[in-house]
Amino acid sequence: MTEQQIMSPVTRQANTLQNTFWYGCALVNVLVDGEQTDGRYAQLEMTLQPGIEPPTHTHTREDETYYVLDGSIQFNIGNHEFTAKPGDYVLMPKNIPHGFNVLTATAKVVLTIAPAGFEQFFIHPSLAKPAYMMMLPPAPQGPPSPERITALKTIGEEFGVYI
């Protein structure tokens, strides 16, 4: 019989600035990261608004699941389109191109990443900053700058994500 690694319990208080970041125009709350789950998964609560949508991209390392808490989001996964509303669940397997569009003024989701690692993308210092208020950052005033697009692409590739 082999000895099995047991994870430590993790508790997280809601609506605190601890582990909360502004990623673009999204509010990202890291509920649990790979360090806390022995790399098995990570989970983020994200409040999104139009303007945060990524271009179609492909993950080579992890699957992503979205559970929609509020708002409406159109997901494009391979050739499949799905409009998700509160209570809907979406699995985006690795190696399948995907993207999404926020259809309402805001949308709130729980994003699960398995295995963990990609959660670090959303808090990378070149792409995000610690939130100082529990509210969305300002919405974008036009398309992302060429510098931000380059940073998203370069840092994404470090995490095995390709546009």
The domain segmentation of the chain, as residue ranges, is 20-131+144-162
Measured between alpha carbons, how far is 122 from 136 in angstroms, rounded to an integer?
A: 15
Give the chain's end-to-end CA distance (angstroms, integer). Answer: 45
pLDDT at 3 over 70: no
Q: What is the pLDDT of residue 46?
A: 97
pLDDT for 2 equals: 57
DSSP structure string for 61-129: S-EEEEEEEES-EEEEETTEEEEE-TT-EEEE-TTS-EEEEE-SS-EEEEEEEESSSGGGGGG-TTTEE
Residues 6+ apart with CB under 8 A from 58: 94, 95, 96, 97, 98, 161, 162
The CATH fold assigned to 20-131+144-162 is: Jelly Rolls (2.60.120)
Least confident of 112-116, 121-125, 137-141: 137-141
Smallest CA-to-CA distance from 26 within 127, 117, 163, 160 is with 127
pLDDT at 38 over 60: yes
- Structure-token pair, residue 157: 């590739």
- pLDDT, residue 17, reads 86
When pLDDT is averaged across residues 130-137 and rounded to a whole number, the result is 92
Give how far the C-alpha of residue 67 lies from the chain's centroid of Cα atoms, to the nearest Å: 11
Average pLDDT of the chain, as a whole number: 92
Task: Please give the model's pTM, rounded to 2 decimal places.
Answer: 0.91
pLDDT at residue number 13: 74
